[in-house]
Chains A and B, each alone.
Chain A
Amino acid sequence: MFQYDKYLRLEMFPHIWCAGCGCGIVMKSLIRAIDRLAIKNDDICMVSGIGCSSRLTGYVDVNTLHTTHGRPVAFATGVKMAKPSLHVIVITGDGDALAIGGNHFIHAARRNMDLTVLLFNNGIYGMTGGQLAPTTPTGKVASTARQGSIDPPFDACKLAVAAGATYVARGTSYHTQQLDRLIEGAIKHKGFALVEILENCNTYYGRPNKIGLLDLLQWEKNNTLNVKAAERMTPEQLEGKILTGLLHQSDRPEYVASYESLMARVQARAGAAD
């Protein structure tokens, strides 16, 4: 049996997440990935924004920075630049990263800043009571879209690839073994790494849309397809499926490394001038 205790602040439990929420499943997956990589708690900094998933930083026994709504990537940029030895992991939600924090998200990807971003996508604003998110599927009901949303949803992974991210993956809270590997790969990757995690909010997404918890989990299973399996399938078979797995990986200079080489150049020039 895997022991989670050494990574948790046990005095913080019970947690605030609803019964059936996907956040706890993802947190355990993250902990298993860290354990596999054998990174010391002291060498990890987790930075989160505001929302249900962002409460995760309160529960894990590492250096934790619970910031303002949408801003964790900006705070994390400061942490990473000032102390590159830290593994900086951003915990964010779909509203946090793609609505109010969209600008920080794309620019950190553009810089290829060495951050691991775990984007918990439950398709709704859970903490504030089920309002429309930039990821809510068109037609679904939210407390600010009672007649069904007319907004098209964002594809976080395509956005990240277009912005310049060098590791882009999608997992679900149903496929936990796959998720462990994707998170592990993201932490190991040197550069901007995104793992979008499809999870469920049965309280504020399931209930208003009359979808039960089991059906929400079944949806994660039935509507996703591993990118490797998809390679062998026809467009008809792929219709309506969401791809999971490692969707994109590329090699580009990482920002902190670029800054450090600039600094070395500047200082060498000054040294020569002296």
Chain B
Amino acid sequence: MSVQTKTPVIKLLQGNEACAEAALVAGCRFFAGYPISPSSEIAEHLSVRMPQAGGRFIQMEDEIAAMGAIIGAAVTGAKVMTATSGPGYSLKQENIGYAAMAEIPCVIINVMRGGPSTGLPTMPAQADVMQARWGTHGDHPAVALTPASVRETYDETIRAFNIAERYRVPVTVLIDEIIAHMRERVVIPDLEEIALWERPRPHVPPDQYRAYEETPSGVPPMADFGSGYRYHVTGLYHDQRGLPNDTPEVVDALQRRLMRKIETAIPEIAKYEEVNLAIKEARIGIVAYGASARSAKAAIRMARHQGIGVGMLRPITLWPFPEAEVAALAHRMRHLIVVEMNLGQIALVVERIAKGACPVHRVNRVTGEPIPPEQILEQIEKLAKS
């Protein structure tokens, strides 16, 4: 059976299923996972679909092993993915750091549930957003995408592979449990229209290949293990040949290149949606992502009926954060409201970016329930009256 679809097809898909199918479309041919709610449907689905597609599926002994296995598969040239939830994401952080350091393309799906610890299995939260940025030790680049619908989960999973491959970086897709378990109508895009990005591969013969050489983009070409290009991959600081080296100049150059390659790629990685920001009378700006942004959209509609001008900036690429856009919003609006299913993780970021240009308010819920539009509307009404 092929994973190709010739014409656009409409399907009723669960978020986790959409993620799994999109991974196959993106070219993922290796999946390693460990059972954890609420992400298990991704592994279950791929256990059937991966062998059909000629790919490899393996259920590992733990979350750490699953992350290690996908990195091992990635160095042979495969596009790879694992899926987990908060507690498993914590366990994977060690090897996510390895992937950042050794520049191994890989995709990690984190279907967020309430934490800390075992927390709230199979109930929604958005409490891993800071972990997606700073979860592993040391300064490191991070890319995280936050879809707000099942169709967007499909698109963002494909985009996660594209970014991971082109920039040789681990990419996390932060799906909240609501989106992961929701079933929605999905118009499957025509495969011809889906752009797939591949990792840069060497164009020089093996004897001239330097596995971690400086390039204008900051991304070195990556050879497949077993293709005749023998080189060393390590989590230690390493020189341009990939060999361990801890001299200050080498350490500084590598650390800064790892950060720079993502910073300079922001124009290609950035993605956000603007809602009602074009309207002139908008004086209140919302920043929300994932399922919370759906509630915020409903609240915006309700506020508009009352004649209150509210707009929203919805980051789809959460990391790197849309700093310039949020800064501009802070200068244009009288108030900003950050809506999220945690106690203000992204609000802290927005406050830092706003630099006091306008007050930053918070609408949060950490009860394992989605944020109802009324809770957001209440905050909007209060600010409109002030």
Question: What is the interface of chain A, defined by CB distance below 8 A to chain B?
Answer: 9, 11-12, 41-43, 45, 47, 57-58, 61-68, 71, 74-83, 85-86, 103-104, 106-107, 259, 262-263, 266-267, 270, 273-274
Contact = CB atoms under 8 A, between A and B. Distances in A.
B78 interface: yes
Contact of A107 (B32, B61, B73, B77): B61
B76 A82 contact: yes
B232 A81 contact: no
Interface stretch (B48-56, B113-121, B290-298, B323-331): B48-56
B384 interface: no
Interface in B223-246: 225-228, 230-236, 243-244
B64 A74 contact: yes
A58 B234 contact: yes
Given A62-B230, A77-B60, A104-B61, A82 B30 contact: yes
Contacts of B58: 77, 81, 259
Contacts of A9: 232, 243
Dominant secondary structure of chain B at its interface with chain A: mixed
B192 interface: no
Given A82-B30, A83-B225, A262-B51, A64 B65 contact: no
A78 B234 contact: no
Nearest to A85: B226
A266 B52 contact: yes
Contact of B94 (A57, A66, A68): A68
Interface in B62-90: 62, 64-78, 80
B51 A86 contact: no
B278 interface: no
Given A71-B65, A78-B30, A78-B69, A42 B60 contact: no
Contact of A81 (B30, B54, B67, B77): B30
Nearest to A264: B51
Contacts of B61: 103-104, 106-107
7 contacts: A58-B243, A74-B65, A78-B70, A81-B58, A85-B226, A267-B51, A274-B1
B56 A82 contact: yes
Most B C-beta atoms less than 10 A away, residue of A47, A62, A68, A86 = A68
A100 B111 CA distance: 27
Nearest to B50: A263
B342 interface: no
B72 A76 contact: yes
Most A C-beta atoms less than 10 A away, residue of B51, B62, B225 = B225
A63 B71 contact: no
Contacts of B319: none
Given A65-B75, A66-B233, A86 B225 contact: yes
Contacts of A274: 1
Contacts of A270: 1, 52
B170 to A, nearest CB: 14
Contact residues on B (Cβ < 8 Å of other chain), bracket: 35 or more
A67 B1 CA distance: 36
B95 interface: yes
A165 to B, nearest CB: 15
A67 B98 contact: yes
Contact of B230 (A63, A104, A273): A63
A77 B69 contact: yes
Given A42-B228, A65-B233, A267 B56 contact: no
Contacts of B32: 77-78
Contacts of A263: 51, 54
Contacts of B1: 267, 270, 273-274
A61 B78 contact: no
Nearest to B71: A75
B164 to A, nearest CB: 15
Interface string B295-308: 00000000000000
B73 A63 contact: no
A83 B226 contact: yes
B225 A45 contact: yes
A79 B68 contact: no
A115 to B, nearest CB: 11
A66 B72 contact: no
Contacts of A104: 61, 65, 68
A226 B112 CA distance: 55
Interface string B9-39: 0000000000000000000011010000000
Given A58-B244, A64-B232, A85-B226, 20 more contacts: A45-B226, A47-B72, A57-B234, A63-B75, A66-B244, A74-B60, A74-B72, A77-B65, A77-B68, A78-B30, A78-B72, A78-B80, A80-B72, A81-B58, A82-B29, A82-B77, A104-B68, A262-B51, A266-B52, A270-B52
Given A42-B226, A71-B95, A86-B226, A66 B69 contact: no
Given A58-B244, A63-B230, A104-B61, A79 B225 contact: yes
